[in-house]
Structure 1
Amino acid sequence: MRPLPPGAVIDAVADVPGTVDVPGWAARFDLISDPTRLKLLLCLHFSPDISVTRLAAAAGVSQTVVSQSLRPLRDRGWAVVDKVGREHRYRLVDESLHTLLHTIGAPHAH
């Protein structure tokens, strides 16, 4: 195997940062690096429009933890919360996050 000429790798990847939303993906990975938040995201992915009460029960955390953990997702517009009667229901609206959850094997409810 011949060695690459000097600068070839730099030239080859020079355009990569321009084609990948590095700050956006870094933020997504930061958000899903928290085990509780990832568990909540998996629950949301499996059952969209799930109530905070059911989400807390499914994830084994308090309703306060659900709200606090998902606030950054709401703030970035990646998830929304709708009030239905007295319930607050979350759903993901960020397609790239949805696709990422599929990539790691997250299923949907049947």
Structure 2
Amino acid sequence: MHLVPADRADRRTIDGHRVCDAIAAIGDAGHVRSWADRFALLADPKRLALLIALHRTGPLAVSDLAVATGMNDPAVSQALRLLRAAGVVEGEKEGRIVRYRVVDPDVQGLLKHCAADGG
């Protein structure tokens, strides 16, 4: 099946079948954008540290995350706000305490490879 878009059909290819396979592998631009957005969230070392802590330990409150990561409470809250808006984490309220956990299964899969012990 020939998948080269019309706007690129006049360009010379070396391995045309592989070009078509690559186009199929890339797929929908919206899907690629969604993954790029996820990677952008993970690209910040502090957000990544928060996610690793949550992934490895389970639900934690803002103040506990601040201690664990060396961040201050407002910075943790701001990072969690971004992660919550992206659907990566959710908060569970118990009285006045909100504990956060990672809920995005794709991000959880990526975090398995980010732990200090490799697992």
The TM-score, its normalising length taken from structure 1, stands at: 0.83
Coordinate RMSD, CA, aligned = 2.1
The equivalent position to 1:59 in structure 2, one of 57, 69, 84, is 69
Give ranges in structure 2 of 5+ residues lacking alignment: 1-12
**1:18 and 2:27 equivalent?**
yes
1:71-93 deviation line (CA, Å, top 9, x unaligned): 12111222101221221210010
Instruction: Give aligned-pair identity as a percent.
Output: 38
User: Which whole-Å CA distance do the structure 2 matches of 1:88 and 1:106 have between them?
Assistant: 26
Quick check: which has more Rg, 1 or 2?
A: 2
Which residue of 42, 50, 56 corresponds with 1:32? 42
Query: CA separation of 1:17/1:6 partners in 2, compared to 1, >3 Å: closer, same or farther?
Result: closer
Is the Cα contact below 8 Å between 1:80 and 1:93 reproduced in 2? yes
SS in 1 for 2:112: helix
Cα offset for 1:12?
A: 2.0
Query: Structure 1: any 5+ residue segments left out of the alignment?
Result: none
Aligned residues: 104
The answer to whether the 8 A contact 1:46-1:106 is kept is no
| 1:103 match: secondary structure | coil
Instruction: Determine which of 94, 97, 101 is the counterpart of 1:84.
Output: 94
**Residues 46 and 6 (structure 1), Cα distance of their counterparts in 2 relative to 1, 3 Å cut:** closer
Task: State the TM-score, normalizing by the size of structure 2.
Answer: 0.77
CA contact (8 A) 2:52 2:111 kept: yes
Give, in whole Å, the separation in 2 of the partners of 1:76 and 1:27: 9
